[in-house]
Structure 1
Amino acid sequence: MNGFKISTNFEDLDINLVYSFISNSYWAKNIPFEVFERSLKNSLVFGAYGSNDEQAGFARVITDKATFAYLSDVFVLENYRGLGISKLLMEAICQHGELQGLRRFMLATSDAHGLYAKFGFESVANPEILMQVWQPSVYEQTCK
């Protein structure tokens, strides 16, 4: 698609670029680099790259590769938006061999419901069964 490709190779990632975006995002503002790096190393990573191998987008999936997965940290850099890269990322994720036959595949989004619906994601039918520990300011706290 328009010269863009998806890679799941950790070594292909522009770690500093991804960290810069994620650490300024509404969902992980101020995440310490060490925590960010550990999160990548313990996930399936998907990088979107242009014909010059410049990184244009990113997503990661946290999974046991058998029953459950959680899609996280999806973004496309502003100057690459509108080119179908988010769809390319989602196609690669949905077709990935280690993400087949899962009982549950979840995500949380504030603004991209339409994109994810195209790939079979839907609102939780029974949200009363879900629980969470939610600490939205965890990266803003300081240790004493």
Structure 2
Amino acid sequence: MTPVHAVTLPDGHVVSDDRRRLDMDAVHAALSTAYWSAGRPRAVTERAWAHSLPVVVTAPDGAVAGFARLVTDRALRAHLADVFVRPASRGLGLGRAMVDYVLSHPALATVTHWTLTTRDAHGLYARLGFESAPADPDSMTMVRRPAGQPGT
């Protein structure tokens, strides 16, 4: 099991990969309203999250404020998925905090190829280094070469 990595934000929110903080009831309820996952059966959501690196943002009171999952081999490639910030927590920079968290996660230091799919958050991801893929405007990619690592 990979050690838990957590970052406390200045406002007291905590971004973590601690599965114990993950509330699958909240995850499934939120994703059932998202354009990319509406109608996804709970069993499929649970299986996807079981085989991914979870990212959970908790408020200072412990309530889940947002989450995302990373589909990754933890060596070379990672796909950011299911990024969601609960409506009451939007506008606090938590979406960016989650992306910053995964991009700086110590277990992902050698990941060079990052991808994601979005219909409505291109601006956020572009500010963090992602570029739209010419063949599919909903797909975004980033190639990042960690210092001292040759191309892959």
TM-score, reference length from structure 1:
0.83
Which of 47, 56, 66 is 1:38 aligned to?
Answer: 47
The letter for the 2-side match of 1:66 is: A
CA–CA separation in structure 1 for the residues paired with 2:112 and 2:14: 28
Aligned length: 127
Gaps of 5+ in 1: 129-144
Structure with higher RCO (Cα < 8 A, 6+ apart): 1
Counterpart secondary structure, 1:38: helix
- For the aligned residues, what is the CA RMSD? 1.4
Query: Could you say which structure has the higher strand fraction?
Result: 2
Percent identical residues: 37
Gaps of 5+ in 2: 1-9, 137-152
Which of 80, 101, 117 is 1:71 aligned to?
Answer: 80
Q: 4+ residue runs of structure 1 moved beyond 4 angstroms?
A: none
The letter for the 2-side match of 1:124 is: A
Match of 1:49 in 2: 58
Match of 1:111 in 2: 120
CA–CA separation in structure 2 for the residues paired with 1:113 and 1:99: 22
CA–CA separation in structure 1 for the residues paired with 2:111 and 2:92: 29
1:80 aligns with 2:89: yes
The letter for the 1-side match of 2:64 is: Q
